[in-house]
């Protein structure tokens, strides 16, 4: 049963990539280094994300090892979002149980929240009932994600790739649901907002960096680029959400922010076609992780990508 | 006698300005609103000393983001009037409000469709009566002993022009970067255009040690570079922390033998840093606010690019503390 009044994190959510060794095991030293690089700047960490963290492609063992390592390293009690999506409803439930046991053993259950991409393994039909059943199995709240292109990529064309607005309305009545990571067009976003207007504290996040840079969602952004540029993403997120805090006097000048936005968009463009593979290559080149190994064999980078990357490194003096 | 007379002049002018401040009313707000609402320019006209003040107001408005131009009333009547269009706001400057050349011009300006604003010392004058908005810039007396040469009145006019420009800066959200754009040269431009890269130390003079370095070696490194601090840098140049003289002092006040420690144990982890492209002015503000003497300079992902010492920036050209 979900604890009462869960608080959704807000701001910059960093979907951690999953550093792997060439043999496919979790690369713990690289993970520690990555965490040291991003933890100070992110408002929350997202573990095992389907887009950036290779989620369902990872074995259950690696996913749990990743969660255990992040729980262990999370000394400053940063809110942790954990992607629980499996290939089937039973996979998802199984992972939730295993992850919940890990969290309980870590002794730091505060701020943990499950993230689920329901349409990867479930249709719209019966989704509200499914979440009622899931919520009864866990003490942690959920954030669901709507990502049409991911669903299409995994399930093929012809499927309904968005959560129906009427279904979202019913799901959101469940107090275990705290928010939605949204990728899609603005009209759907507005309909979704209308659908959840009866709910207090339902938080919308941008799942698309470009969407956030253009018209930021009120809850924040899941920004894969923050694996590389966490301080820049933090400044842009703070500024976009108009957060006032200590040191605000030293927020970047608008011209600097504009240049930062261009830098983030350029990085986003470099990672657009194969996010996990491309961001890993970049992180490996700058020395944050040791290997750019991925679970699924990666296709060669598109022609011109290396030249674009070189220009990016050179323009921002990253190497 | 001479100094007394000079002091009296200043006093008379200051009194005039103080009275002027008390008389600022709704008309001033209407003038600002009219200029903000206009898509055209501010056209300023005046004769004699008022004309000279008008030229200065034009210069101030232009440099602070409000397009303005000066129109000589006589030249206007001989063809220059063609420069005025209906979207402009017309500011007529005349202390007496009876300057014939200006008063001849006003009806034509009104016919074009401009809003006419009079800045005059006589609110009942011909100029005031024929204007849409009247700003009273009158003074009780001139500093000239004969009461003839415009002195306090032109000072009042000048101050009113500055008040207008400053209020417009706020209303139009004019920023330092905009000012820099309009002032590429000069000391103000220098103050705003220099970036940290222009002042920072790079290469072998940047004190740095690895996290595992014994503190005895770290202290030698601090001494070698003479900046009172050393950066603690991970492999691949990532900044891990900083050790300052203060960190060592604080450590010693709590412990005894620092020689057995490593840099990582004593350092302040994740210190504030800025990028080489940060405006030097912003870096100085940050150093002043957080009382930082040595500021690490890093690239966007936290790799060390240099170090900035307060003495390298303070006192160079226009750079000084704000004293906040």
pLDDT number for residue A81: 96
Token pair 């369902």 in the structure block, residue: A56
Whether the model clears a pTM of 0.95, i.e. scores above it, the answer is no
Q: How confident is the model at residue A1 (pLDDT cuts 50, 70, 90)?
A: low
pLDDT number for residue B189: 56
Q: What is the mean pLDDT of chain A?
A: 89
Please, how many CA atoms are within 13 Å of residue A312, restricted to the half-sphere of its CB?
25
Distance in angstroms (rounded) separating the CA atoms of residues A91 and A10: 28
User: How high is the ipTM of this complex?
Assistant: 0.80
Q: What is the mean pLDDT of chain B?
A: 87
pLDDT number for residue A313: 94
Any domain includes A58: yes
| Nearest chain A Cα distance for residue B202, angstroms | 14
- Percentages helix, strand, coil for chain A (3-state, rounded to 5) are 45, 10, 40
Report the C-alpha dihedral over residues A53, A59, A65, A67, rounded to 10 degrees.
40
Cβ–Cβ gap B277/A256 under 8 Å: yes
In chain B, what are the domains? 2-174 (3.40.50.10490), 196-313 (3.10.580.10)
Any domain includes A276: yes
The DSSP H or E segment spanning B94 is strand B89-94
> What is the average per-residue pLDDT within A187-213?
90
Any domain includes A5: no
Of A96-100, A241-245, A310-314, minimum mean pLDDT range: A241-245
Cβ–Cβ gap B301/A253 under 8 Å: no
Residue A119 has pLDDT above 90, yes or no: yes
pLDDT number for residue B315: 64
- What residues of chain A lie within 8 A of the CB of B322, using their CB? none
Task: Read off the tokens for A88.
Answer: 């089937």
Using CB atoms, pick whichever of B270, B286, B299 lies closest to residue A316: B299
pLDDT number for residue B172: 74
- What residues of chain B lie within 8 A of the CB of A256, using their CB? 277-278
Any domain includes A198: yes
Any domain includes A2: no
Cβ–Cβ gap A249/B300 under 8 Å: no
Using a CB–CB cutoff of 8 Å, tell me whether A76 touches chain B.
no
pLDDT number for residue B256: 76
Cβ–Cβ gap A232/B270 under 8 Å: no
User: Phi, psi at residue B102, to the nearest 5°?
Assistant: -75, -45
Query: How many other β-carbons are positioned within 10 Å of the β-carbon of residue B167?
Result: 16
Cβ–Cβ gap B177/A317 under 8 Å: no
Residue A221 makes CB contacts below 8 A (sequence gap 6+) with A12, A13, A205, A206, A209, A212, A233, A237
Using a CB–CB cutoff of 8 Å, tell me whether B236 touches chain A.
yes
How does pLDDT run across A25-46, given as a tens digit for each residue?
Answer: 999 999 999 999 999 999 999 9
Burial class (CB in 10 A: 0-12, 13-18, 19+), A107: exposed
pLDDT number for residue B185: 54
User: Phi, psi at residue B286, to the nearest 5°?
Assistant: -65, -45
Cα B73 to chain centroid distance, Å, stands at: 32
- What residues of chain B lie within 8 A of the CB of A30, using their CB? none
Cβ–Cβ gap B299/A317 under 8 Å: yes
Cβ–Cβ gap A287/B236 under 8 Å: yes
Distance in angstroms (rounded) separating the CA atoms of residues A51 and A12: 16
Q: Among residues of chain B, what percentage have pLDDT more than 90?
A: 49
How does pLDDT run across B49-67, given as a tens digit for each residue?
Answer: 999 999 999 999 988 888 8
Total count of domains within chain A: 1
Domain CATH number, residue A242: 3.20.20.70
Q: How confident is the model at residue B180 (pLDDT cuts 50, 70, 90)?
A: low
The DSSP code for B82 is G
CA–CA distances in Å: residue B236 to residues B202, B233, B305? 16, 8, 12
pLDDT number for residue A201: 84
pLDDT number for residue B183: 57
Using a CB–CB cutoff of 8 Å, tell me whether B277 touches chain A.
yes
Any domain includes A4: no
Closest residue by Cα to residue A120 from A94, A159, A93: A159
Nearest-CA residue of chain B relative to A249? B286
pLDDT number for residue A260: 87
- What residues of chain B lie within 8 A of the CB of A288, using their CB? 301
Q: How confident is the model at residue A246 (pLDDT cuts 50, 70, 90)?
A: very low
Using a CB–CB cutoff of 8 Å, tell me whether A286 touches chain B.
yes
pLDDT number for residue B169: 83
Any domain includes A141: yes
Domain membership of residue A140 as a residue range: 11-315
Using a CB–CB cutoff of 8 Å, tell me whether B300 touches chain A.
yes
> What is the average per-residue pLDDT within A259-271?
91
Distance in angstroms (rounded) separating the CA atoms of residues B264 and B280: 29
pLDDT number for residue B35: 92
Q: Annotate B292-322 with DSSP letters as a single string.
A: -SEEEEE-TTSBEEEEEEHHHHTTSTT----
What are the b/e assignments for B64-102, b being 16+ CB within 10 Å? bbbebbbbbbeebeeeebeebeeebbbbbbbbebebebb
Residue A293 has pLDDT above 70, yes or no: yes
Query: Which 191-250 residues of chain A touch chain B by CB within 8 A?
Result: 228-229, 231-232, 249-250
Residue A307 has pLDDT above 90, yes or no: yes
Q: How confident is the model at residue A166 (pLDDT cuts 50, 70, 90)?
A: very high
pLDDT number for residue A258: 80
| Nearest chain B Cα distance for residue A51, angstroms | 22
Cβ–Cβ gap A316/B300 under 8 Å: yes
Of A178-182, B35-39, B172-176, minimum mean pLDDT range: B172-176
Q: How confident is the model at residue A244 (pLDDT cuts 50, 70, 90)?
A: low
Closest residue by Cα to residue B205 from B224, B220, B178, B184: B224
pLDDT number for residue A4: 56
User: Phi, psi at residue A45, to the nearest 5°?
Assistant: -110, 140
Q: A–B: how many Cβ contacts below 8 A?
A: 45
Pairing of strands A11-15, A220-222: parallel
Cβ–Cβ gap B301/A318 under 8 Å: yes
Residue A11 has pLDDT above 60, yes or no: yes
Cβ–Cβ gap B301/A256 under 8 Å: no
pLDDT number for residue B316: 63
Contact present, B215 and B206 (Cβ < 8 Å): no
How does pLDDT run across B261-274, given as a tens digit for each residue?
Answer: 999 999 999 999 99
Using a CB–CB cutoff of 8 Å, tell me whether A263 touches chain B.
yes
> What is the average per-residue pLDDT within B6-30?
89
Of A80-84, A197-201, B85-89, minimum mean pLDDT range: A197-201
Using CB atoms, pick whichever of B270, B289, B305 lies closest to residue A249: B289
- What residues of chain A lie within 8 A of the CB of B305, using their CB? 317
Nearest-CA residue of chain B relative to A235? B300
Residue A5 has pLDDT above 90, yes or no: no
Distance in angstroms (rounded) separating the CA atoms of residues A40 and A19: 19
> What is the average per-residue pLDDT within A84-102?
94
Pick B139 or B207 by higher pLDDT.
Answer: B207
Residue B175 has pLDDT above 70, yes or no: no
Best A231, A261, A263, A314 member to test B by mutation, with max B CBs in 10 Å, is A231
Query: Which 7-66 residues of chain B touch chain A by CB within 8 A?
Result: none
Q: How confident is the model at residue A179 (pLDDT cuts 50, 70, 90)?
A: very high
> Please, what is the angle between helix A186-195 and helix A165-172, to 10°?
40
The DSSP H or E segment spanning B7 is helix B2-23
Helix segments in chain A, DSSP class H: 28-38, 60-73, 89-106, 127-135, 148-155, 165-172, 186-195, 209-214, 230-240, 254-270, 275-286, 305-315
Q: Annotate A89-127 with DSSP letters as a single string.
A: HHHHHHHHHHHHHHHHHHT--TTEEEEE-GGGT--STTH
The DSSP code for B86 is T
């Amino acid at each position: 049963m979900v604890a009462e009044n869960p608080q959704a994190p807000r701001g910059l959510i960093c979907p951690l990539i999953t550093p792997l060794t060439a043999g496919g095991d979790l690369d713990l030293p690289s993970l520690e280094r990555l965490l040291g690089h991003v933890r100070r700047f992110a408002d929350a960490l997202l573990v095992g994300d389907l887009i950036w963290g290779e989620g369902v492609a990872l074995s259950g063992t690696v996913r749990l090892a990743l969660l255990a390592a992040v729980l262990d390293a999370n000394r400053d009690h940063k809110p942790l979002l954990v992607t629980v999506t499996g290939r089937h409803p039973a996979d998802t439930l199984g992972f939730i149980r295993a992850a919940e046991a890990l969290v309980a053993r870590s002794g730091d259950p505060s701020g943990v929240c499950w993230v689920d991409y329901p349409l990867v393994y479930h249709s719209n039909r019966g989704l509200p009932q499914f979440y009622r059943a899931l919520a009864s199995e866990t003490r942690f709240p959920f954030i669901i994600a709507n990502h049409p292109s991911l669903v299409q990529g995994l399930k093929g064309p012809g499927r309904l790739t968005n959560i129906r607005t009427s279904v979202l309305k019913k799901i959101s009545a469940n107090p275990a649901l705290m928010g939605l990571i949204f990728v899609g067009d603005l009209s759907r976003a507005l309909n979704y907002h209308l659908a959840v207007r009866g709910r207090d504290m339902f938080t919308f996040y941008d799942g698309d960096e470009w969407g956030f840079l253009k018209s930021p969602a009120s809850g924040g952004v899941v920004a894969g680029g923050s694996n590389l540029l966490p301080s820049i993403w933090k400044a842009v997120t703070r500024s976009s959400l108009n957060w006032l805090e200590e040191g605000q006097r030293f927020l970047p000048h608008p011209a600097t922010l504009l240049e930062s936005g261009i830098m983030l968009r350029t990085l986003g463009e470099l990672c657009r076609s194969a996010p996990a593979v491309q961001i890993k290559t970049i992180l490996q080149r700058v020395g944050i992780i040791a290997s750019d190994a991925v679970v699924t064999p990666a296709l060669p980078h598109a022609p011109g990508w290396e030249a674009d990357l070189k220009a990016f490194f050179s323009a921002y003096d990253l190497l | 006698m001479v100094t007394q007379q000079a002091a009296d002049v200043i006093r008379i002018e200051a009194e005039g300005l103080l009275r002027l401040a008390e008389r600022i009313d709704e008309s001033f707000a209407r003038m600002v609103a009219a200029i903000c609402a206009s898509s055209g320019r501010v056209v300023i006209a005046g004769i004699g000393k008022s004309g000279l003040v008008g030229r200065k107001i034009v210069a101030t408005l232009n440099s602070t983001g409000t397009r303005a131009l000066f129109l000589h009333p006589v030249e206007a009547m001989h063809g220059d009037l063609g420069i005025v269009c209906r979207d402009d706001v017309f500011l007529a400057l005349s202390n007496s409000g009876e300057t014939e050349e200006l008063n001849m011009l006003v009806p034509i300006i009104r016919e074009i469709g401009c809003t006419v604003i009079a800045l005059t010392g006589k609110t009942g004058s011909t100029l005031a009566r024929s204007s849409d908005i009247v700003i009273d810039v009158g003074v009780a007396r001139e500093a000239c002993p004969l009461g003839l040469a415009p002195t306090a009145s032109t000072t009042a006019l000048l101050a009113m022009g500055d008040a207008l420009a400053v209020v417009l800066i706020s209303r139009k959200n004019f920023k330092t970067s905009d000012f820099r754009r309009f002032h590429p040269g000069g000391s103000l431009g220098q103050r705003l255009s220099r970036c940290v890269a222009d002042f920072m130390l790079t290469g072998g003079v940047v004190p740095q040690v690895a996290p595992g370095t014994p503190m005895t070696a770290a202290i030698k490194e601090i001494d070698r570079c003479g900046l009172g601090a050393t950066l603690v840098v991970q492999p691949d140049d990532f900044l891990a922390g900083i050790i300052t003289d203060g960190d060592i002092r604080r450590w010693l006040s709590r412990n005894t033998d620092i020689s057995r420690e490593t840099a990582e144990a004593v350092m302040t982890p994740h210190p504030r840093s800025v990028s080489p492209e940060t405006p030097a002015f912003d870096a100085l503000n940050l150093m002043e606010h957080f009382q930082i003497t040595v500021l690490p300079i890093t690239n966007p992902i936290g790799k060390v690019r240099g170090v900035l010492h307060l003495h390298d920036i303070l006192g160079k050209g226009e750079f000084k503390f704000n004293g906040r």
